[in-house]
A and B are shown apart, each in its own frame.
Chain A
């Protein structure tokens, strides 16, 4: 069965510092992978997605993610965090039937 693991429930980062959020998946075939962000009181917004091709994917708001098949990972990164990046981040994998399986989420707190 497929699964998505986000090992970090909560991360605190200083404004201007770099951020990396981890995501590991278990899936038999080549997965479709997604990162979504949920700001307080808001719905989920797509940051980026990986279907195939270049394993380094660029997204919105300065985020990027790297697909590493050998490590079954799809980690999200941002070189310099802004206070507005405080939010909850979800990694998700899509199966062949168009259904998403979400990780439990990582809450990011940005300190001045």
Chain B
């Protein structure tokens, strides 16, 4: 079984809709992250959480919100989706000892 899972894997939605992307991990890591990937831009950090009570904005947090429901779960929400939020979204986890991030398989989101 995968250590970091993301649901859904693909989603097509319309402008203005609310969307939630979910991430779960079985690695027991404290730290979780949400990134988006756009061609030619690499991965950019949206939000990160170093423990359940700690939520921090990344470099491109506008238009997004997150919820850390438990150590193992970290959700990303788009309150009102817009077409330029069409991208591949990745969740990642790490622990403070190894400083290595482990990525989920990604969610491909299309906003029409």
- Classify the secondary structure of B's interface with A: strand
Residues on A with beta carbons closer than 8 Å to the beta carbon of B100: 34, 46, 49
When each residue 74-112 of chain B gets 1 if its CB lies under 8 Å from chain A and 0 otherwise, what string results?
000000000000000010101010011111111000000
Interface size on B, residues (CB 8 A): 24
Q: Do the beta carbons of A98 and B45 come within 8 Å of each other?
A: no
Which residues 64-108 in A have Cβ within 8 Å of B in the complex? Answer: 90, 94, 98-100, 102-105
Name the contact of A98 in the complex, choosing from B4, B43, B50 (C-beta under 8 A): B50
Interface size on A, residues (CB 8 A): 21
A43 within 8 A of B: yes
Write the residues of chain A forming the contact surface with B, with a CB cutoff of 8 angstroms. 4, 9, 32, 34, 36, 42-46, 49, 51, 90, 94, 98-100, 102-105
